[in-house]
Structure 1
């Protein structure tokens, strides 16, 4: 038997509903479910708080040679992380808009499979505890992609996604095996 939760804020519901509508436009469904058995998903948990969307991050283990599927999930604004300290060093929130207009950002370029790829690196200082986190590699690429889809704005830096049609470059970026996905965050 489920208990009724606290009344939801209309602004929070609108923020989440708008994000879900934008994500639905870019959902590839099961189109690639037949491909390679060596695949994984990355959960990108979004939290609506104080009128903004935030991505929840944890430090994670490294996987190589995998098909990557970014999966967006929405978590309750009252969520409190209780990570196992043997598995997760820290949990922190970053405003989604930070991945379009960062305060500290660097990029480099690499060639993978004959294709020039931008490697994003964001430095984010958590205002609550003053700790600075480096978000880079595949995790940063997923965060940029989700920010582009949901917020629908042009970033303040160069991206290798076609901003008028995000599907083809996302297929290239996420649905082809990643040979050197070095991000632990």
Structure 2
């Protein structure tokens, strides 16, 4: 491996190692595996690119009245998505720190079954092709939660998570969402 490539590899590896260490501190394991027979996992694929962690998104559909478990995976920096066009409309990357410092953001509140739910709505314009994407619902909440864990910073907007105790605050929030998941991204 060339000296230049080796020096570029160190910061990327450090980003990933730091993220893995922070994630490990917040892992709840199988604590909620008994709650629902309708269980799904959502992969939150991270990629270290241009000195930042990027979150890979695919445009997809979601099911409601289910327990959705976020699963974080790390992709090789040279990963090239090859989606099936019948299943995936588009694939794009968003810098993880965008979910703490977005250019376009708004909130909505929803009350369902007596629960007040904060809906985060991020609008991201991909600098590579100029396409604007809406990231909201459970996907936005998972992306924000991941950014809070890994980056450990407060966002520029009000949120429902407690940075001093992410596990406890997130448990209540995500259990409320078990009954409602209004996202298509």
Q: Which residue of 2 aligns with 1:58?
A: 58
Q: Distance in 2 between the 1:34 and 1:51 partners?
A: 39
Q: Which residue of 2 aligns with 1:103?
A: 103
Residues 144 and 123 (structure 1 numbering): CA distance in 2 closer, same or farther, change over 3 Å?
Answer: same
Q: Distance in 1 between the 2:46 and 2:82 partners?
A: 17
Stretch moving more, 145-154 or 27-36: 27-36
1:91 aligns with 2:91: yes
Q: Which residue of 2 aligns with 1:11?
A: 11
> What is the count of residue pairs matched by the alignment?
180
Displacement after TM superposition at 1:14 (Å)? 0.3
Contact 1:69 1:174 in 2 (8 A): no
Q: Which residue of 2 aligns with 1:26?
A: 26
Task: Spell out structure 1 runs of 4+ moving beyond 3 A.
Answer: none
CA RMSD of aligned residues (A): 1.5
Stretch moving more, 88-97 or 27-36: 27-36
Contact 1:70 1:174 in 2 (8 A): no
Residues 124 and 58 (structure 1 numbering): CA distance in 2 closer, same or farther, change over 3 Å?
Answer: same
User: Any idea what the Cα deviations from partners look like across 1:98-118, whole Å, max 9, x if unmatched?
Assistant: 000000001111223433221
Unaligned runs of 5+ in 2: none
Contact 2:41 2:69 in 1 (8 A): yes
Q: Which residue of 2 aligns with 1:3?
A: none
Contact 1:117 1:160 in 2 (8 A): no
Q: TM-score, normalised by structure 1?
A: 0.92
1:46 aligns with 2:46: yes
| Higher fraction of helix | 2
SS state of the match for residue 69, structure 1? Answer: strand
Q: Distance in 1 between the 2:69 and 2:115 partners?
A: 20
Q: TM-score, normalised by structure 2?
A: 0.92
SS state of the match for residue 77, structure 1? Answer: coil
Contact 2:94 2:124 in 1 (8 A): yes
Q: Which residue of 2 aligns with 1:118?
A: 118
SS state of the match for residue 124, structure 1? Answer: strand
Residues 176 and 69 (structure 1 numbering): CA distance in 2 closer, same or farther, change over 3 Å?
Answer: farther
Q: Distance in 2 between the 1:174 and 1:146 partners?
A: 13
